[in-house]
């Protein structure tokens, strides 16, 4: 059976030693958010996740959600409703929301640590409140007074949940092709008609109401993405004073049968002249939706982190217990009939790969959360601008790379267990199946890659990369005077190569537009390994002075050395792929693919 223990020591090390968040919080005006408070939040979250959510993970996978075609209701797995009630009663939904709206005002970076634990404990359950956080952001930045004073507080306290309704049967990423219509009513509302698919938590009985944020087109809307508007469509109609009325004309037509996240309701939602309320300005819906989507993208990246961590914990435990063969250098445990498999080099390769990717990804995810905090709360305008550029740059890397590594880590963990990893008893195969979806929803890895190179680098002239580059330079300079100088020199070299590669892609794109798409995936992964190299050097340097045990300190430096020696060279392949150009991808005619 798969178990989970929150890695509080590493979480605290990342927040306070690597990222120096206590000082950052003070600079941003979080006067009351000190280490004592954050430690208390993390410890209580660990208790909830370990004792309430983690035991339900296998239950959700085994039972799944059930859809009633007559009533259109969706029944969640046994225990999910009670767990959600405890979640709300403990105040977790309001953790990172503004105090003036009923929130607790805890920084987003601390919320990332809480999400880390939730996702490791029970990813499918965590999907029910996941999109509420993004809906809060969308309404906070784009909603009108009624939406902020009546709808938003219910999302913040968790009594209502939110969804994001974008995809349609004929339309995925290219949202300009949506067909859902919004017709104005005399009372200022709109009648929404259309079908949306793949809607996470689109229907359930965990809350009093569900707030759907729906993309639709007005009758006179311009063609394409410039003609998209965003609407609130509640499951139950809401009066001006916030009281819940009759059922709105929005129903769940079916739920998808998936290879993973069985406990999460992935719904087909039908809107049949449902009452809706415009969010923001007409035909400007994408701006509001991207506010929600970017929050969700970082959240999905943290899903990959949580799954990787839980899988690694269980693989490590098994590798210490499973006896098989003898160490190549002779019996490591002569008193046992065989040695535990952790003595074998290939098992250690997989465990160290996972450790390097998990702990490095944790720094990346929390750093992105801290950049979001700075973007929203720093008193200095230039600092807010720099953090905004940084979070924009880090988001596609965090979402795509951490989830791609999540697939690698969960499969490495399965390999450590051998045949036991393939069967349901140990729970590793569930984690591997669940991990597959994280690279797809909220934008596939390919979409994130295009966002990084096409928008964040070329269109925005690499503003976020420049901010990140300054942090790399400071890290290298500070590390040169330590025992980590060889790693710092290695990082300096590859950071320089990264800049050259970026300029090459930009130059090639001027000659052939296909060069951007041809390079995008490999450029994304190349960037991910450079980013992790930076954070591993930073982690190893922080451990030199941190109040940690000698074993912890050595583990950080040894894992950093492993990352630089065994994982960072993967960039060589990605660079070669980029430089092979678009021609080798585009020269074959479509009809020749099945020749």
Just list the catalytic residues.
Answer: 442
Taking a C-beta distance cutoff of 8 angstroms, is the pair 274, 250 a contact? yes
Query: Which of 26, 175, 169, 178 is closest to 107 using CA atoms?
Result: 26
**How many angstroms separate the first and last alpha carbons of the chain?**
47
Gap between the Cα atoms of 528 and 47, Å rounded:
32
3-state SS, residue 568 = coil
Cα gap 83→57, rounded to integer Å = 12
The continuous run of DSSP H or E covering 477 comes out as helix 463-479
Q: What is the Cβ-side half-sphere exposure of residue 10, based on CA atoms within 13 angstroms?
A: 21
| 406: enclosing H helix or E strand | helix 381-417
Token match 């905004």: residue?
388
Tokens of residue 205, six digits? 């009985």
86 sits in which H/E element: helix 80-89
Give kind and range of the element (H or E) at residue 190. strand 190-200
Token pair for 388: 């905004």
C-alpha 567/C-alpha 544 separation (Å) is: 23
Q: What are phi and psi of 531, to 5 degrees?
A: -60, -45
Please, what is the angle between helix 463-479 and helix 485-511, to 10°? Answer: 160
Distance CA(540)–CA(560), nearest Å, equals 7
Residues 525 and 402 sit within 8 Å (Cβ to Cβ): no
Q: What is the DSSP annotation of 159-192?
A: SEEEEEE--BTTBSS-GGG---EEEE-TTS-EEE
Closest CA to 81 of 46, 41, 116, 129: 129
Q: Are 125 and 263 spatial neighbours (Cβ–Cβ below 8 Å)?
A: yes
Tell the burial category of 316 from Cβ atoms under 10 Å away from its Cβ (0-12, 13-18, 19+). middle
Sign of CA dihedral 48, 54, 55, 58: positive
* Category of 20 on φ-ψ map: left (φ > 0), alpha (ψ -120 to 50) or beta: left
Q: What is the maximum alpha-carbon separation in the chain? A: 84
Cα 421-422-424 angle, rounded to 5 deg: 90
Distance in angstroms (rounded) separating the CA atoms of residues 411 and 421? 9
559 and 485 Cβ atoms separated by less than 8 Å: no
| Closest alpha carbon to 39 in 62, 9, 19, 79 | 9
Can you list the alpha helix ranges (DSSP code H) found in 277-344? 285-321
What stretch of H or E contains 465?
A: helix 463-479
């Amino acid at each position: 059976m798969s178990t989970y223990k929150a890695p509080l020591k590493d979480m605290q090390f990342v927040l306070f030693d690597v990222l120096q968040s206590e000082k950052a919080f003070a600079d941003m005006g979080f006067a009351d958010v000190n280490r004592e408070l954050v430690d208390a939040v993390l410890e209580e979250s660990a208790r909830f996740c370990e004792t309430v959510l983690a035991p339900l993970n296998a239950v959700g996978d085994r039972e799944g959600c059930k859809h009633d075609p007559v009533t259109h209701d969706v029944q969640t797995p046994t225990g999910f409703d009670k767990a959600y009630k405890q979640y709300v009663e403990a105040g977790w939904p309001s953790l990172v929301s503004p105090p003036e709206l009923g929130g607790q005002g805890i920084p987003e970076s601390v919320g990332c640590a809480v999400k880390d634990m939730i996702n490791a404990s029970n990813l499918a359950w965590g999907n029910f409140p996941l999109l509420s956080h993004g809906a809060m952001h969308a309404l906070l930045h784009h909603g009108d007074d009624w939406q902020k004073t009546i709808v938003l507080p219910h999302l913040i306290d968790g009594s209502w949940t939110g969804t994001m309704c974008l995809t349609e049967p004929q339309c995925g990423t290219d949202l300009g092709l949506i067909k859902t219509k919004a017709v104005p009513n005399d009372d200022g509302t709109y009648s929404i008609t259309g079908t949306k698919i793949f809607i996470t938590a689109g229907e359930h009985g965990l809350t009093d109401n569900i707030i759907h944020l729906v993309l639709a087109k007005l009758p006179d809307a311009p063609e394409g993405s410039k003609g998209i508007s965003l609407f609130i469509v509640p499951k139950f109609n809401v009066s001006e004073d916030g009281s819940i009325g009759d059922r709105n004309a929005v129903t769940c037509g079916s739920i998808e049968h998936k290879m993973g996240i069985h406990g999460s309701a992935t719904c087909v939602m039908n809107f049949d002249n449902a009452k809706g309320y415009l969010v923001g300005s007409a035909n400007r819906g994408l701006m509001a939706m991207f506010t929600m989507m970017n929050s969700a993208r970082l959240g999905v990246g943290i899903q990959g982190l949580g799954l990787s961590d839980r899988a690694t914990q269980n693989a490590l435990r098994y590798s210490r217990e499973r006896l098989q063969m003898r160490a190549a250098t002779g019996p490591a445990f002569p008193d046992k009939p065989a040695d535990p498999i952790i003595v074998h080099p290939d098992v250690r390769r997989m465990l160290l790969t996972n450790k390097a990717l998990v702990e490095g990804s944790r720094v990346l995810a929390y750093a992105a959360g801290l950049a979001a905090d700075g973007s929203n709360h720093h008193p200095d305008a230039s600092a807010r601008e720099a953090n905004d550029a940084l979070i924009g740059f880090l988001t596609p890397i965090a979402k795509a790379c951490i989830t791609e590594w999540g697939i690698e880590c969960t499969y490495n963990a399965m390999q450590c267990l051998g045949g036991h990893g393939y069967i349901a008893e140990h729970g590793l195969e569930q984690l591997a199946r669940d991990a597959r979806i994280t690279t797809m929803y909220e934008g596939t890895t390919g979409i994130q890659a295009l966002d990084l190179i096409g928008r964040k680098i070329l269109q925005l002239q690499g503003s976020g990369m420049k901010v990140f580059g300054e942090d790399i330079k400071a890290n290298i300079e500070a590390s040169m005077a330590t025992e980590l100088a060889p790693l710092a020199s290695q990082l300096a070299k590859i950071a320089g190569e990264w800049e050259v590669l970026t300029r090459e892609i930009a130059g090639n794109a001027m000659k052939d537009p296909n060069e951007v798409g041809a390079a995008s995936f490999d450029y994304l992964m190349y960037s991910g390994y450079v980013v992790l190299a930076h954070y591993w050097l930073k982690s190893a340097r922080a451990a030199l002075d941190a109040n940690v045990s000698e074993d912890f300190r050595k583990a950080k430096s040894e894992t950093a050395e492993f990352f630089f020696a065994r994982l960072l060279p993967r960039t060589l392949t990605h660079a070669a792929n980029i430089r092979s150009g678009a021609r080798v991808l585009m020269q074959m005619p479509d009809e020749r693919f099945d020749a």
